[in-house]
């Protein structure tokens, strides 16, 4: 969140925001003339990137304005410093995050709505409108509420915020929160304190109390929610923008990361649900020597390491999830037909040169005929050719005479004579002391 020094709010918008909150901090509810208008999504350059990313992922609608009143809130200097130093961040309640995680991971892509639309429909459902979303009954009480998440526990150890209007304890009953009965435990499963800055006025009596922000504090276990006039989509966009700063790995953050991962996969690569593919990402993704798209059907390699991916096309072309491990190195390799890692004998076009083909053929002949595989191992149809010094060793196919020569002195390397060497992808063969007439 950015303060006035970085803000792009006009003077009229600032007045609008301050009057909405009656100069009262949205978090600790303290009323002060020194409160400032803060952006939910930064008004400076980083905020532009965050908004663009959120729009691409469907978290925010196209044309979201960072200088609009609903992208702002009033914060006191103390609470504001906690936000800009990445100590705390607002989040959707855990029940809502769980709903979104299930929705983004389980709903077929063709049936999914953008996240901002889902969040807007939740508000409509809260107002009693029938909406086209999976059952919302369990999360209705939490719609419109936000929670405070500590993303850097080490920086706030032992710290608290102090509120001038600590709310009474509430409990969830059905689809709403009501005032908790006397003697209700503050850590009861359905109990929470709900901060509502817009419902406080000059006649509201003070009730000082702590807002723990350190997980080491015993009272940190209590649930606290804030009802704010800010779009839930903007709160979630600001949350995912702060994920790189998190060192807590609390449940809120873990759920946000899972949702972000699902949205990212859907945007940058198909899940394969629509086209019969398999694997979590499908196809697409960055192209080049290492591949065509993620772990689904796009593979790790377009012209380099394959063409399949681990899910729908393997690491080659047939893939581990497609047609088995196949053969042919790592390109046609683990799958059945990708581009594969290029042989050192291939030119830039991927075709073997004539000399390379001749070399491989000669190597096979030396090792055991054309039936030999790339490893130089003879198959059932190819027997190794040997030279007998007492017989005619003429080649019946070419008519050439093949005769043995006296071997050189094995102990004198200067007398050794070598024929050409040929390299396969497994073994190097060298023909020595052979005279081809």
**pLDDT per residue as tens, the chain (437 positions):** 554 435 479 999 999 999 999 999 999 999 988 889 999 998 887 889 999 999 999 999 999 999 999 999 999 999 999 999 999 999 999 999 999 999 999 999 899 999 999 999 999 999 989 999 999 999 999 999 999 999 999 999 989 999 999 999 999 999 999 999 999 999 999 999 999 999 999 899 999 999 999 999 999 999 999 999 999 999 999 999 999 999 998 999 999 999 999 999 998 875 444 443 333 333 333 333 333 343 334 433 333 333 343 334 443 444 443 433 343 433 334 434 444 434 333 444 444 445 445 444 444 443 444 444 444 444 444 444 444 545 555 555 555 555 445 555 555 555 555 555 544 444 454 555 545 54
d(CA 343, CA 256): 44
pTM: 0.62
CA distance 241 to 243: 6
* Cα three-residue angle 286-288-289, rounded to 5 degrees: 130
Query: Are 350 and 334 contacting, i.e. CB atoms less than 8 angstroms apart?
Result: no
How far apart CA 307 and CA 115 sit, in angstroms, is 32
Contact between 61 and 26 under an 8 Å Cβ cutoff? The reply is no
């Amino acid at each position: 969140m950015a303060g006035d020094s970085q803000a792009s709010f006009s003077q009229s918008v600032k007045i609008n925001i301050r009057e909405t909150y009656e100069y009262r901090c949205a978090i600790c509810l303290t009323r002060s003339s020194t409160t400032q208008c803060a952006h939910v999504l930064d008004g400076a350059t980083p905020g532009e990137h965050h908004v663009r990313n959120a729009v691409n992922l469907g978290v925010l609608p196209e044309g979201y304005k960072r200088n609009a009143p609903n992208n702002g809130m009033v914060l006191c200097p103390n609470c504001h410093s906690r936000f800009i130093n990445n100590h705390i961040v607002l989040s959707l309640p855990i029940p809502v995050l769980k709903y979104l995680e299930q929705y983004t991971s389980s709903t077929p892509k063709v049936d999914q709505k953008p996240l901002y639309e889902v969040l807007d429909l939740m508000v409509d459902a809260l107002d009693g409108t029938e909406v086209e979303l999976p059952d919302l009954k369990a999360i209705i009480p939490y719609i419109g509420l936000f929670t405070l998440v500590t993303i850097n526990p080490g920086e706030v150890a032992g710290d608290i915020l102090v509120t001038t209007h600590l709310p009474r304890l509430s409990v969830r009953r059905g689809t709403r929160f009501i005032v908790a009965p006397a003697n209700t435990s503050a850590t009861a499963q359905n109990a929470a304190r709900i901060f509502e800055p817009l419902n406080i006025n000059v006649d509201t009596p003070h009730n000082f109390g702590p807002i723990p922000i350190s997980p080491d504090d015993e009272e940190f276990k209590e649930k606290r929610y804030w009802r704010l006039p800010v779009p839930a989509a903007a709160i979630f966009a600001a949350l995912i923008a702060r994920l790189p700063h998190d060192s807590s790995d609390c449940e809120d953050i873990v759920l946000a990361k899972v949702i972000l991962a699902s949205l990212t996969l859907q945007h940058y690569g198909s899940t394969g649900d629509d086209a019969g593919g398999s694997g979590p990402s499908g196809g697409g993704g960055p192209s080049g020597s290492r591949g065509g798209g993620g772990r689904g059907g796009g593979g790790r390699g377009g012209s380099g390491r394959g063409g399949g991916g681990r899910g729908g096309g393997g690491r080659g072309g047939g893939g581990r999830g497609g047609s088995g491990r196949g053969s042919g190195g790592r390109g046609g390799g683990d799958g059945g037909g990708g581009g594969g890692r290029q042989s050192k004998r291939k030119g830039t076009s991927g075709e073997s040169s004539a000399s390379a083909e001749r070399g491989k053929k000669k190597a096979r002949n030396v090792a055991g005929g054309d039936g030999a595989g790339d490893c130089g191992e003879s198959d059932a149809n190819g027997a190794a050719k040997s030279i007998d010094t007492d017989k005619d060793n003429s080649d019946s196919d070419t008519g050439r005479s093949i005769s043995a020569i006296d071997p050189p002195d094995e102990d004198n390397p200067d007398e050794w004579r070598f024929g050409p060497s040929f390299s396969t992808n497994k073994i190097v063969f060298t023909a020595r002391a052979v005279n081809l007439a």
